Amino acid sequence: MLKNKQLLMALSVFLIVFTTTYAFVYYNDGLNKNNRKINDNQNIQIKHFLPNENGNNENGSENNNEEESLSSPRPERKPVKVKGLYITGTSAGNKKFMERLVNLINTTELNTVVLDVKEDGKVNYASEVESVKKIGAYHELYNVDEVIKLLHDNNIYVIGRIVCFRDNYLAGKRVDLAIKRKDGSIWRENGSIAWTNPYNKEVWRYNIDIAKEAVKKGFDEIQFDYVRFPAAGKNEVDYGENPIPKADAISGFLKEAASEINKMGVPVSADIFAIVCETPGDTEGIGQVLERIGMDIDYISPMIYPSHFANASRGMMGNGKGQSINGILFTAPDLKPYEVVYNVLLKTKDRISKVEGYRAKVRPYLQGFTASYLPKGYYQHYGPEQIRQQIKAVYDAGYEEWIFWNAANTYTESAFARE
């Protein structure tokens, strides 16, 4: 298990890895395509790559107390056991990509799309939320009405992903809402990305209002990502005198958000670091405590990417010894997708089973990409076999739902069972 200092370092590296995954995946997939023959003609891939974007955003406050009503009828649907793929706003705006995606879902076990509502500080469609319009915090990457209709017409469950507190655009427009250094200047992750302050309830309201508009647009579920504090040292940031525990702020936000969104007939989920399923309390200092974060929402999604656990190298994500998960030391976790996913979920199940009244179900995010940025010998190509190993681990651990993450939205048809 990583020590506190090592965890902080690992989390910082994780963020670098996570935010640069787009470029690495794009570059590596391009090389692979040019340098090797595809032997299996059934590995039909849906590809769409993202341009790099730097968003700026600002937040305003909006108190919507009016009676909630949907702009269009919500389709009647039976409870869904989610088997999903993540797609970006850019992908959603590409009609050919969406046609291929729908065909993939219609011919396999897949039934769900996680679609970006707010990413990089901007809503991805023409928003009518006053606080968003006031600061220009949206761009029209896709027509939300057309996309939702297309997916619903094909009986596809649609989850709207909202990146919450890592919001460089809002923090730049509203400096009063940004996380600050002790000298009053804006703190920036890796000297670049500013965050909004999770203690600030105006920031809460901003994200909740965006979520409620998404529900009105027809999204079947709201998923909050980056629902945490940044991995910053105590001497780097200033949250004021005697702030409440970070976990109180995160749990408080989710409780308030779920209270309002659930009243609209829609579930709420939250993405969490998988390492919090292993470590006790708020060891990472980000406000995500496993025993608390799922008390008031419907689902938690631990991001169980084997590549993102510490390895025994001295390179990327390395700490010289590896990562202990459920009492097992993994020195090269990316090479053990089944074992990593299985043991994270067993540890998660054991811990939350001891919490009376725990509400959230567990629906993990799984690795759908090749982590070629890791040192040689510590990563492998993630193809159909590695995908299936992770899915099997979910089922063997006693869970039924899963979502795959690939930042470039490159998914292989043969990885999923045909129906």
Q: Is the pLDDT of residue 16 over 50?
A: no
pLDDT confidence of residue 234:
85
Tokens of 342: 């299985």
The DSSP call for residue 373 is T
pLDDT confidence of residue 29:
40
Number of domains in the chain: 1
**pLDDT tens by residue, 174-195:** 999 999 999 999 999 999 999 9
In a domain, 151, yes or no: yes
Gyration radius of the chain's alpha carbons: 20
pLDDT confidence of residue 76:
57
* pTM for the whole structure: 0.84
Residue owning tokens 């097992």: 328
In a domain, 218, yes or no: yes
CATH of the domain at 227: 3.20.20.80
Q: Which residues pair with 118 in a beta bridge?
A: 123, 162
Task: Give the C-alpha separation, 138 to 129, whole Å.
Answer: 10
Judged by DSSP in three states, 85 sits in strand
In a domain, 43, yes or no: yes
In a domain, 345, yes or no: yes
In a domain, 75, yes or no: no
Q: What mean pLDDT is reported for the chain?
A: 87
In a domain, 196, yes or no: yes
Q: Which domain holds residue 177?
A: 4-65+81-415
pLDDT confidence of residue 233:
87
Specify the range with the lowest mean pLDDT, choosing from 26-40, 305-319, 368-382.
26-40
pLDDT confidence of residue 385:
98
Average pLDDT over residues 109-133: 97
Task: Give the C-alpha separation, 261 to 63, whole Å.
Answer: 14
Specify the range with the lowest mean pLDDT, choosing from 40-44, 148-152, 308-312, 402-406.
40-44
Tokens of 58: 């600002």
In a domain, 226, yes or no: yes
Residue owning tokens 């990417």: 305
In a domain, 74, yes or no: no
**Residues whose CB is less than 8 angstroms from the CB of residue 290 and which lie 6 or more positions away in sequence, other chains included:** 272, 276, 277, 300, 348, 351, 352
Of 36 and 47, the structure prediction assigns the larger pLDDT to 47
